[in-house]
């Protein structure tokens, strides 16, 4: 199973960034995770107009950890 993370930064700078963690996952396949990362990146301008998606990462998680609440 895979969790999706997307790094977003203020347009024109690379030192003011945030990591967005997807709340819909985890996903069964890496491809589903990557598809979700691109979907998040496409939505960034609508929800965070001064930011742009820079990178994404699909982190493999143990199935037993997949349903735990991240804090």
What is the reported pLDDT for 20? 94
Tokens of residue 49, six digits: 């107009």
Find, among 44, 51, 48, the residue nearest to 9 by Cα: 51
Structural domain boundaries, residue 48: 2-63
Rounded distance, CA 71 to CA 63, Å? 18
Segment 36-44 mean pLDDT: 95
Q: What is the pTM of this model?
A: 0.79
Given a contact cutoff of 8 angstroms between Cβ atoms, the answer to whether 32 and 22 are in contact is no
Residue 30 has pLDDT above 90, yes or no: yes
Count of the separate structural domains present in the chain? 1
Q: Is 16 part of a structural domain of the chain?
A: yes
Q: Is residue 25 part of a domain?
A: yes
């Amino acid at each position: 199973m895979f969790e999706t993370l997307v790094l977003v930064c203020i347009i024109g700078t690379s030192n003011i960034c945030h990591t967005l963690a997807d709340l819909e996952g985890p996903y069964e396949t890496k491809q589903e995770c990557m598809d979700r990362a691109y979907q998040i990146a496409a939505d960034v301008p609508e929800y965070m107009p001064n930011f742009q998606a820079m990178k994404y990462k699909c982190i493999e998680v143990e199935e037993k950890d997949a349903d735990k609440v991240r804090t």
